[in-house]
Chain A
């Protein structure tokens, strides 16, 4: 290779820096910067999020034939010692409600029984844990999109934040995932009501992302245009202990 002159280096360096600057501005304008981009390793997280948002615009998570449903699924143990949860469990979740707040024209709680009256979607998808294990199950639930439609989500909505009854657990998805037909508020698993160890009575299912986005024991949604006011502002609880907000990998 020929000797590269100092001028070539300078020109190359400057145009690379300009290119990165233009790309960052374009990404910001098109909502391709994740809320945890400012954290350590935010560059990698941003590249992944931006690349996959462009790539997965119309994609569907893989769905499987019934014969591939795992005979022995596994759920990470949770510690739902909450008195309120235990009482609800004893009452077979009869009074479980999903609070819907934020940028919606009709805020208020939706009873689990109401949620089950919305048109249901059943899908056989794989749950992949960030640790490496996985299982396939059939999930039944109300698409998050229909819940947002019922509540009248406003056009300026950019994220949907969801909370678990388990203290400290909350997460969020952008509208691409919130409105995706496979994103479910799931209340059924393999033909039965969702068992408590799998997050019953209600869990989020975001099958194009890792299992930790599929938060268990969901009882509250907040529609927002800005994640700054939630927790430390990184979009979900996992970035606060080192995990990325976007988990499509």
Chain B
């Protein structure tokens, strides 16, 4: 993308919200895993407990003696601080997300950087992109200046599908929130369905983060991370 040399690779607000989101995601993941350990069984529908059959149960020990896991021991209960950290980080990530969305629409960030070019939205281009990604091909130098098609689609999915779904399913588990908006949980099929979808969305987001870090490493970990911190891309820019 031809821009003058002083304009940064990533805008300040994108950099700031990226790292805030990364920090919150880490806090939400660690605390969320602790909460799952207190009941590693998942259900579908409205209700579910150890007296009812599970949809599936994670093969891990539990922090509650009342959950039959097959392990002969009970992990320490970490739910107190985990819950508090989970909701504190959830608030921060929601504020960060609103800031990012607001600024993104105002500055046309989504339009100019994330929305795929109409011409690139063909099966041929997509297949080519997938193949070059699967071959772990080093990206071309001009990719340091803009996002490729798969990146754009992945980022759009994270921003406009996975994060909203995460927040929705999280709120759907709140007895106070659904007392005002019962449809938030009823459209998902019930309280336990919301919890199960929340868990699967976590898996999707964790997969994204792992692939994201792998691709950043492939493209050159240090320069890409530096670009996301300082805003400056290191590769020499071609003059417009």
Q: Which residues from chain A sit less than 8 Å from chain B, CB to CB?
A: 1, 4, 39-41, 43-45, 47-48, 52, 55-56, 59-62, 64, 68, 70, 72-74, 76-77, 126, 128-136, 207-210, 238, 241-244, 248-249
Contacts and interface: CB of A to CB of B under 8 A. Distances in A.
Contacts of A70: 47, 49, 52
Contact of B180 (A1, A59, A64): A59
Contacts of B122: none
A60 B179 contact: yes
Contacts of B182: 62
Contacts of B83: 130, 242-244
B11 A209 contact: no
A47 B91 contact: yes
Interface in B70-96: 79-81, 83-85, 87-91
Contacts of A72: 49, 51-52
A243 B79 contact: yes
A132 B38 CA distance: 8
Interface string B152-184: 000000000000000000000111111110100
Interface of B: 11-13, 35-36, 38-39, 41, 46-52, 64, 66, 79-81, 83-85, 87-91, 103, 107, 173-180, 182, 185, 191-192, 195
A199 to B, nearest CB: 16
B179 A41 contact: no
Contacts of B12: 1, 4
A128 B39 contact: no
A130 B89 CA distance: 18
A126 B177 contact: no
A248 B35 contact: no
A208 B175 contact: yes
A74 B80 contact: no
B87 A249 contact: yes
A60 B182 CA distance: 10
B39 A52 contact: no
Given A1-B13, A48-B91, A73 B49 contact: yes
A44 B178 contact: no
Contacts of A248: 174-177
A156 to B, nearest CB: 26
Nearest to A36: B84
13 contacts: A1-B107, A40-B81, A43-B88, A45-B88, A48-B91, A55-B176, A62-B182, A72-B49, A130-B79, A132-B39, A208-B179, A241-B80, A242-B83
A41 B178 contact: no
Contacts of B180: 55-56, 59
